[in-house]
Amino acid sequence: MMRRRKIRASKNPVKLICIIVTVSFIIVQIISALLQLTSTISSSPKPVMKPSIGELGETVIGMLPEDLAFTLFLPSEEAFRRDLRLDRNDSDSYATLTRVLGFSAVPRWISTADLDLDLDLERVYGSISGFDLVVSKDLKGRVVVNGVASEKKGLRKGSVVVYVIDGVLMDAEFRQSVQPDDDDDDG
């Protein structure tokens, strides 16, 4: 007579352990693949940020200490050229960039969430040179600083939050020193 064989987990623990190890391995592989995909997606904006800042912007950011929180309202590369006629090859560009940094850097993080208030509400922050920056949002959701609108929202560059703006923040004295001499008193 034939006997039926009953296979139970308690009589065959090797099969049970193999099943548990296989299922655990599959779960670990799925989780690690999802984590890798998530980190790839979250890090994808980083390469986009570098071209929008430009070489002069990178120089200004490099002047800030790496271990402190700052928000920088950085002029676009076009604004540096248009408003200051500044080129990275100019001999006095470092001194000019230092002045621009003083007017446009705030010693704290300012996120777009900090500004998610009524459109009519403005906040005033003091730059590191003591220059007052009036910050608000416009109808398009762009950050506006002293009347100059941002082109890029709150990019992170190390410990610095960077807003690329379409202009240069400066006081009247500095503005006058960088304005062209249009007056020709030859006569």
* Strand, helix or coil for residue 15: helix
pLDDT at 44: 44
C-alpha distances in Å from residue 185, one per residue of 42, 177, 179, 182: 59, 18, 17, 10
Question: Tens digits of per-residue pLDDT, 62-84?
Answer: 898 888 889 999 998 888 888 88
Backbone dihedral region of 141: left (phi > 0), alpha (psi from -120 to 50 degrees) or beta?
A: left
DSSP 34: H
Question: What's residue 171's pLDDT?
Answer: 86
Element (H, E) at 45: helix 45-62
Mean pLDDT for the stretch of residues 140-162: 85
In Å, how far from its chain's centre is CA 124?
Answer: 21
pLDDT tens by residue, 80-110: 888 888 766 666 788 888 888 899 999 998 8
Which pLDDT does position 42 carry in this prediction?
Answer: 56
pLDDT in the model for residue 89: 66
Q: Sheet with 70-75: list strands edge to edge.
A: 105-106, 70-75, 160-165, 148-157, 143-145, 132-137, 123-126
pLDDT at 39: 64
108 and 75 Cβ atoms separated by less than 8 Å: no
Burial class (CB in 10 A: 0-12, 13-18, 19+), 97: buried
The mean pLDDT value for 13-39 works out to 83
> CA 139 to CA 109: how far, in whole Å?
23
Q: Name which residue leads in pLDDT, 55 or 132.
A: 132
Provide the mean pLDDT of the chain: 78
